[in-house]
Amino acid sequence: WIALAAISIAIVANQVLTSGVFWILMRRHGSVGFQEMNLLVATSTLGNYVPMQAGSIGRMAYHRTVNGIPVRTSLVVILQAMSATAIATCAVGAVAVLAAGAGAPWWAATLVPVVWVPLAMDATWRPFAMVMVLRSVEVLVWAVHAWAAFRLSGWSIEPATAIGTALVASAANLVPFIGNGLGIREWSVALAAPLIGGYERDAGLAAELTGRAVDIALAIPLGMIAFAALIKRTHTALARVDR
């Protein structure tokens, strides 16, 4: 039950963190509420299980229709968010590797989000800093997701191994046109077993499949509820236009 609760909290936390990233990046281009962005991310997460990133396409269409934000702008924001994930993954990975080489404790990697805080003192850099803090925390939340997935599968891994697995999963999620890294994430974690250490290939694959099952089990109700709310918002926006 602890593992199931941990992975469920991690999934919801990542959704909120992702929403925060897109809200920060998008709000300068149009009026988008944080709750509204949460609904959009929940819906697109479910929709992205359909090939060709259907969820992301739907989100761009919504921004164009309801928020008046051009599709091109939405696409640029998506690329910015992906770039932030790549930078955060590299930063956490670099600190984790350096810490392991120096014999430092595994939790050194958890300090990465703090590194970006000084940049927030400058108004010009503040949006970038806030996005990087959220993305760095998101990578670490993936470590909780990994730990819980292994526990649910019957294996126990060390925190350092969980962070290594999270780095691989985070990178796999960046593969374009494969919604939510479906298939890519599972096999990447499995094949990275010799590199990361602390688990066997079959254990990694089983854990990721278990984690994916929980992802989908939560994505369906969250996505459907959010979709219903967005349909209502869309109808309201179109009614205003007709007037």
User: pLDDT digits over 134-164, tens only?
Assistant: 999 999 999 999 999 999 999 999 999 999 9
Produce one character per residue of 45-72: b if its CB has 16 or more CB atoms within 10 Å, e if not.
Answer: bbbbbeeebebbbbbbebbbebbebeee
Q: What is the pLDDT of residue 180?
A: 67
DSSP designation for 175: S
Average pLDDT in the chain: 93
- Its pTM stands at 0.92
* pLDDT tens per residue across span 74-94: 999 999 999 999 999 999 999
Instruction: Enumerate helices (H) and strands (E) in the chain, giving the number of each.
Output: 10, 0
Number of domains in the chain: 1
Q: Residue 190 sits in which domain range?
A: 2-242
Average pLDDT, integer, range 32-43: 96
Q: Return d(Cα 121, Cα 124) in angstroms, integer.
A: 9
